[in-house]
Structure formats: C-alpha cells, structure tokens
Amino acid sequence: MIEIKNLHASVGDTPILKGVNLTINKGEIHAIMGPNGSGKSTLAKVISGHPAFKVTEGEILFEGKDLLVLEPDERSREGIFMAFQYPVEIPGVNNASFLRLAYNALQGHRGLPELSEKEFDVFLREKAKIVDLNPDFLERSVNTGFSGGEKKRNEIVQMAVLDPKLSLLDETDSGLDIDALRIVARGVNELMTSEKAMMVITHYQRLLNYIQPDIIHVMVDGRIVKTGGKELALELEEKGYDWLIEESEGNQDDRCHPKKALCSTSGDA
Ligand SMILES: Nc1ncnc2c1ncn2[C@@H]1O[C@H](COP(=O)(O)OP(=O)(O)OP(=O)(O)O)[C@@H](O)[C@H]1O
Ligand SMILES: [Mg+2]
C-alpha cells in the first residue's frame, strides 16, 4: 500500500529523517518504536504532508502513486489518516460539525452521497461507541478541554468516521489508563481489515499485546536500524535501545565508531 524509499526530510537546514525505507502492504500492521527524538512522529507527519518538513531526497508511493506531490488534504482524500501524538484543540469548532464536514468532503471525493446533519448524528453516535466515547463530547468544541485520554479516543472516532486505507497512529496509547488502552485498542482492531494498513508508533510493548503488529521497526537517528517480529518488542523492553544505537553508529560508513574498532590506526576510517 505504501512504499517509502530512501526518505530524507529536514526542518529548515536540520536533517531529521536520514534515509528511511519502509513498505507496508495491505492487511499489515507495522509498529515503529525507538528513542525520543529519533524521528518517529516526523515520519508520520511527512507521510501526511505536514508543511514544517521538507523532503530533500527519496520518494513515497501510495498505491503506486507519488504521494509527495499531493497537498495534505489530498492525501487525506486518498485515504491516509494520522492520529496525532498531541491532538490539537480547536476552540469554537463543534466536534460533530467538524467531523461531518470532513466526512462529506470525503464522500464527495468517493462519489458517494453526503449525509444530512440528522443522518450524520446517528452515524457518528455509532462510531463513538467503538471507543466508548460519551456522545456529549461530540457536541463540544474539538478536543477543547478534553483530558489526554478523551483526546485519544476522539482521534479514533475521527478515524472510524473517515474510514482511511492507511492509519498512522502516533502514540495513541500514551496517557491512556489500562481500561482505556484496552478499549481504544479494541476499537482500532475493529477498524482494521485485510484491505487496510496501519503504522502504530509506540514506546510500550504493552500496546502491542492488544494491537498485534506483523512487523516491528526500530528507528534511531532518522533511520530504521532494526526490523523484526513481535519478539523484538520484548527484547527492547528487556535491553533498551543502547545496543541498537551502538550498532547503528557502527554501521554508518561515514562515521568512525571506536567501540566497534572501525577506526583504523592510520585514521582513514
Ligand atoms: N517543527 C520542528 N522544528 C524543529 N525541530 C523539530 C521539529 N519537529 C521535529 N523536530 C526535531 O526532530 C527530531 C525528531 O522529532 P520527532 O518528534 O520525530 O521524534 P519522535 O521519535 O517522535 O520522539 P518522541 O518519542 O519523543 O515522540 C527531534 O530532535 C525534534 O526536536
Ligand atoms: Mg513522537
């Protein structure tokens, strides 16, 4: 579904992504783990077209089409959805109206009928049930004054409404209590089908007990340095990231890494 090749992206002149390669096929859930500041959120934002980042090299193909030429709203219409690590509050904008606007815009794009306010209300209440979100939150301003966990649930309601092909979930588990984690994970699993794909960014192995990833990637310093199965998350939980950071530094051919004895004595490493 999505093919990312040698992706480099910067903020201003600072490179953040330094050659990401990643392919996610239909029906697959990929987890992205890695230390703080390694570029996980940046990767999700670059896929969704966040204007703060400039792609300096590489390509992203979504269902075979060049994604990088599309604006963020066009990417969303193509079926890409991102649940933010820090969902934004939009004071004064009614949650239900906001979702209906987004939903009807998508329906138009898909050549399907729009829903009236009444019809949408019924539809939305069904979607809110997926993550046990109290319908009162649908009548409030988007995320405004929501608790951390309520915002995360609201993100999944958005996802359920928009029915994306590819969902990018950025630390959807952070700030959730144990019960909420289970509920949100159940919602996410309910929305996953063999025709869809997900990229789930998380720090905790715990989430992966509920949302079963097919593949786990570890990102360090703007690159994916390790890919494995579910057992990799357990290994990380036990060993932390240091061993991978050392490995990745040792593998960078433009860097000399004394611990790995890659520096020759003549200094021409
Ligand atoms: N808009 C921005 N302006 C300047 N620097 C940025 C910006 N966005 C990201 N960065 C920098 O890029 C690096 C990667 O950030 P990113 O948010 O992608 O990390 P992350 O892997 O998601 O970390 P965390 O696990 O803490 O969420 C960090 O050093 C961050 O400070
Ligand atoms: Mg992040």
The model's pLDDT over 169-196, given as tens digits with 9 standing for 90+, comes to 999 888 888 888 888 888 889 889 999 9
Question: Helix (H, G, I), strand (E, B), or coil: what is residue 220?
Answer: strand
Average pLDDT value for residue range 61-78: 94
Contact between residue 184 and residue 153 where contact means Cβ atoms under 8 Å apart = yes
Ligand with the closest atom to the CA of 20:
1
267 occurs within a structural domain: no
Residue nearest to atom 17 of ligand 1 (CA): 41
CATH no. for residue 16?
3.40.50.300
Residue of minimum CA distance from atom 18 in ligand 1: 39
95 lines ligand 1 (CB under 6 A): no
Structure token digits, residue 84: 């933010």
Atom of ligand 1 nearest to the CA of 34: 21
For 147-164, the pLDDT digits (tens) are: 888 898 999 999 999 999
Tell whether ligand 1 has an atom less than 6 A from the beta carbon of residue 38. yes
Evaluate whether residue 266 is within a structural domain.
no
Using the mean position of ligand 2's atoms as its centre, give its distance from the Cα of residue 215 in Å: 19
Mutation pick for ligand 1 pocket among 8, 41, 203 (CB with most ligand atoms within 8 Å): 41
Q: Does the beta carbon of 52 lie inside 6 Å of ligand 1?
A: yes
Beta strands in the chain (DSSP E): 2-11, 14-24, 29-33, 54-62, 65-66, 80-83, 90-94, 141-142, 166-170, 197-201, 215-220, 223-228
pLDDT of residue 252: 58
Residues 6+ apart with CB under 8 A from 42: 9, 16, 17, 53, 222
CB neighbourhood size of 93 (10 A)? 14
The ligand 1 atom at the shortest distance from the C-alpha of residue 16 is 12
Domain-embedded: residue 234: yes
Distance from residue 128's CA to the centre of ligand 1 (Å): 31
Is residue 222 situated within a structural domain? yes
Which of 14, 18, 20, 40 to mutate to test ligand 1, by most ligand atoms within 8 A of the CB atom? Answer: 40
pLDDT at 258 over 90: no
pLDDT at 187: 86
Label residue 268 exposed, middle or buried (CB < 10 Å: 0-12, 13-18, 19+). exposed
> Whose structure tokens read 């409404």?
161
Give this prediction's pTM. 0.88
Structural domain containing residue 13: 2-260
Count: domains in the chain: 1
Residue with more model confidence, 94 or 149: 94
Q: What is the pLDDT of residues 15-48, one digit of tens each?
A: 999 999 999 999 999 999 999 999 999 999 999 9
8 neighbors 18 (Cβ within 8 angstroms): yes
- Does residue 6 fall inside a structural domain? yes
Instruction: Establish if 265 belongs to a structural domain.
Output: no
- 88 vs 259, residue with greater confidence: 88
Return the exposure string of 202-228: e unless at least 16 CB atoms fall within 10 Å of the residue's CB, then b.
beebebbeebebebbbbbbbbbbbbee
Residue 88 lies in a domain: yes
Domain membership of residue 269 (yes or no) is: no
